[in-house]
A and B are shown apart, each in its own frame.
Chain A
Amino acid sequence: MSGDRREKEAADELRRVLAHLRDEIRSRFPVAAVAEPTESAVDLEGLWNSARRRLGTIGMSEHSAEVDEFGMDDEALRRVEPLLDFLAERFWRVDLRGLANLPAEGPCLLVANRAGLLPWDGLMLAHVLKRALPDRERPRFLVADSGMQWPFVHATIAQLGGVRSCVENAERLLAAGRIAIAFPEGAQGATKAWPDRYRLQSFTHDGVVRLALASGVPLIPVGIVGAEEVHPLMAKLKGPARRVGLPFVPVTPTFPLLGLLGLLPLPSKWLMWIGEPVSLDHPGADADPLAVAREEDAVRSKIAELVERALAQRESIWG
């Protein structure tokens, strides 16, 4: 009953707004007054309802009433939990190893290799860690700038626990005692072409090592295998991309061949290997750039080593 009334009120409101708009147009362009329809031929109520359904429910109409300070929405997470479980257990069969290397408590910075245009790897790592450590706060994954600027994608990633990657945000997460997952390759890691898969790109200048030093938290390398095959990037089309405002249009074995269906991830087999904490020899925020660069290289080769080890364990891409 009250729903019907509300719909009617909404339609009335829309009618009022339209009437106001019509008056305004008429006062500015007297000619328009000539072609005045005597009666509203359009079904305003129906129009309103269908417009509301279409516009109101794209992507983000479902919100809980509370979000945390970075916009993570527990309610939305609870709703997609079965899907995340399905992805982790059945679809990608995520195999998590080296959990013992994680400190039992306190904040830490996980540093992993990045792959795939969408941050599935961060989402999955946070999810399987949360399931392995139900008593701890959900680990938060950092997402490179470019991914956080796309409409729809941004709001959804934030709801699911993603945080825009920048030093201030990471420091805040660590200061709050959380586990932060960083992908220092940044956008370069996400846009690797197929022949470069599992080849670690150079780190962006934000500096995971500097961050770990400044925050005084342990830095733990993680190798992720499987995310590269989710959207294997065969080519980047730059011509048509400019029209839609993207850096490039990705070409994968299924996209754009199968249309939107091609955006669905492929069921590769995943392995996540948590390595031993890197011992940082130069504590303090005011670190020597040379020492930081050397540590960064060390972290890079540790991640590469973990990736190699995980690749050797995997029988085949799908196996």
Chain B
Amino acid sequence: MNEPGVIAITGLRTFLGGQLAERLLRRSPSPRIVGFDRRRPPGIDPRVRFHAIDLTAADAAAELAGQLENEGVEVLVHTAFRTDPTADLALDRALETDGSLRVVDACVEARVSRLVLASSTMLYGPWPDNPNFLTEEHPLRGHPDAHAVANRIETESLINDCARRRPQLEMTVLRSCWVLGPRFDDRVSRYLSLPVVPKLLGYDPLMQFVHEDDYLNAFERATLESHPGVFNIVGRGTLPLATLLRLGGRRSIALPSRLLYRMAYYPGPRRTGDPPAAFYDYLRYLWVADGARGWDAFGEPVYSTRETWVEFMSARRSRSAG
């Protein structure tokens, strides 16, 4: 298949959706970008053909299908997911699980040929019995307390099931690990920027990050080229959390898990509707993914985990200084 001429992006207001649209428009010749979100993102490139749509509405599928058909969309990138889970569990589910199914429905209806789905290696879950490197075939076990992760696992399996029944729709799932970079902002980067980073006493798991540029690059390649299947999108190399914090000159305080899980209701990544374990267990047990398949398909990442971390820390420092 040649490079697609018309590309749709759902979730244009997310970091991934907005940045990917800009990246694609910078190409020459640039493809036509059709963007969807609930509200128009401020400062979006005027070349993006924007349509407001609410994926939680019951008639969203028909509406989306109509617009995809009108625009002649060939590839759809589905990024309409919460960057951070919210306390509104029902809304999160309506958007992520039900909304995704409506998107797939619309893609089938409008004969879109490829669907690129943004996912996360968090879906594998932090478990003491994880192998050191999780391949794409590893079962998605999630975390018993993390409702957003549970939603995404359900979404992925439902979408996979739909795609299996409809071979005309090509599916690419990109599971990325935690993204860091000068511009990307989520609860992970906020946690790592706390004046004193709380961590678990006695645990020091190997961590893995992907730089925002490598992350966007993988999505760009997955949008333009045909790579059916599931891919882990991660940086090369791993480092223990304590080493990372020391490298970045961060102050940290190690607390026993029971104390931290009680305290974490206060300063940490709060208001997610989940108990703190849903976040802190990801800093307790190993959940490093094997990126070989993704590197083969989308090219060698520019930044290793270590370089990603250093770049992130220096960007944070200059931001707080300026």
Binding site for B on A (CB under 8 A): 10, 13-14, 16-17, 21, 24, 51-52, 55-56, 58-61, 63-67, 69-71, 145, 148-149, 151-152, 154-155, 158, 163-164, 166-169, 172
- Give the distance to chain A from B21, nearest Cβ to Cβ, in Å: 35
Measured between beta carbons, the chain A residues less than 8 angstroms from B302 are none
Measured between beta carbons, the chain B residues less than 8 angstroms from A65 are 239, 243, 247, 306
- Give the distance to chain B from A243, nearest Cβ to Cβ, in Å: 13
B299 at interface (Cβ–Cβ under 8 A)? no
- Between A and B, 7 residue pairs with Cβ closer than 8 Å are A10-B196, A21-B266, A71-B132, A145-B128, A151-B203, A164-B132, A172-B132
Binding site for A on B (CB under 8 A): 128-129, 131-133, 135, 195-196, 200-204, 206, 237-240, 242-243, 246-247, 251-255, 266-267, 286, 306
Measured between beta carbons, the chain A residues less than 8 angstroms from B129 are 145, 164, 166
- Give the residue among B128, B131, B196, B252 with the most A Cβ atoms within 10 A: B131
Assess A59 versus B240: contact at CB under 8 Å? Given A70-B132, A172-B133.
Answer: no
Measured between beta carbons, the chain A residues less than 8 angstroms from B243 are 63-65, 67
Are B128 and A67 neighbours in the complex by a CB distance under 8 Å?
no
A68 to B247, CA, bound (A): 16
Measured between beta carbons, the chain A residues less than 8 angstroms from B242 are 60-61, 63
Measured between beta carbons, the chain B residues less than 8 angstroms from A64 are 243
* Leading 10 A-B pairs by shortest Cβ distance: A151-B202, A168-B131, A155-B204, A63-B243, A149-B128, A13-B195, A152-B202, A55-B254, A166-B131, A71-B206
Residue of A nearest to B246 (CB): A63
A61 to B131, CA, bound (A): 25
Measured between beta carbons, the chain A residues less than 8 angstroms from B251 are 10, 13, 52
A58 to B204, CA, bound (A): 12
Measured between beta carbons, the chain B residues less than 8 angstroms from A145 are 128-129
Measured between beta carbons, the chain B residues less than 8 angstroms from A13 are 195-196, 251
Residue of A nearest to B202 (CB): A151
Are B201 and A24 neighbours in the complex by a CB distance under 8 Å?
no
A166 to B131, CA, bound (A): 7
Measured between beta carbons, the chain A residues less than 8 angstroms from B200 are 151
- Give the residue among B204, B254, B286 with the most A Cβ atoms within 10 A: B204
Are A58 and B266 neighbours in the complex by a CB distance under 8 Å?
no
- Give the distance to chain A from B155, nearest Cβ to Cβ, in Å: 26
Say which residue of B131, B195, B240, B255 sits within 8 Å of A169 (CB atoms).
B131
A17 to B206, CA, bound (A): 28
Mostly, the A contact residues are: helix
Are B204 and A67 neighbours in the complex by a CB distance under 8 Å?
no
Say which residue of A51, A58, A69 sits within 8 Å of B133 (CB atoms).
A69
- Give the distance to chain B from A171, nearest Cβ to Cβ, in Å: 9
- Give the distance to chain A from B139, nearest Cβ to Cβ, in Å: 12
Are B203 and A155 neighbours in the complex by a CB distance under 8 Å?
yes
Are B201 and A67 neighbours in the complex by a CB distance under 8 Å?
no
Are A164 and B131 neighbours in the complex by a CB distance under 8 Å?
yes
A24 to B267, CA, bound (A): 10
- Give the distance to chain B from A50, nearest Cβ to Cβ, in Å: 13
Measured between beta carbons, the chain A residues less than 8 angstroms from B206 are 67, 71, 158
Say which residue of B132, B196, B252, B254 sits within 8 Å of A163 (CB atoms).
B132
| Given pairs A52-B251, A67-B240, 13 additional interface contacts (CB within 8 A) | A13-B251, A21-B267, A51-B253, A55-B253, A56-B252, A63-B240, A65-B239, A66-B239, A145-B128, A148-B128, A151-B201, A164-B132, A168-B135
Measured between beta carbons, the chain A residues less than 8 angstroms from B237 are 69
Are A71 and B238 neighbours in the complex by a CB distance under 8 Å?
yes
Residue of A nearest to B288 (CB): A69
A238 to B219, CA, bound (A): 53
Are A169 and B132 neighbours in the complex by a CB distance under 8 Å?
yes
Residue of A nearest to B286 (CB): A164
Measured between beta carbons, the chain B residues less than 8 angstroms from A51 are 253
Measured between beta carbons, the chain B residues less than 8 angstroms from A63 are 240, 242-243, 246
Measured between beta carbons, the chain B residues less than 8 angstroms from A148 are 128
A235 to B107, CA, bound (A): 65
Measured between beta carbons, the chain A residues less than 8 angstroms from B133 are 69, 168-169, 172
A151 to B283, CA, bound (A): 13
Are B195 and A17 neighbours in the complex by a CB distance under 8 Å?
yes
Are B196 and A58 neighbours in the complex by a CB distance under 8 Å?
no
Measured between beta carbons, the chain A residues less than 8 angstroms from B306 are 65
- Give the distance to chain A from B56, nearest Cβ to Cβ, in Å: 32
A66 to B304, CA, bound (A): 12
- Give the distance to chain B from A64, nearest Cβ to Cβ, in Å: 8
A179 to B60, CA, bound (A): 57
Assess A56 versus B254: contact at CB under 8 Å? Given A21-B266, A155-B204, A172-B133.
Answer: yes
- Give the residue among B135, B196, B306 with the most A Cβ atoms within 10 A: B196
Measured between beta carbons, the chain A residues less than 8 angstroms from B247 are 65
- Give the distance to chain B from A3, nearest Cβ to Cβ, in Å: 13
Residue of B nearest to A51 (CB): B253
Assess A71 versus B240: contact at CB under 8 Å? Given A13-B195, A56-B254.
Answer: yes
Are A59 and B132 neighbours in the complex by a CB distance under 8 Å?
no
Measured between beta carbons, the chain A residues less than 8 angstroms from B131 are 164, 166-169, 172
Are A59 and B202 neighbours in the complex by a CB distance under 8 Å?
yes
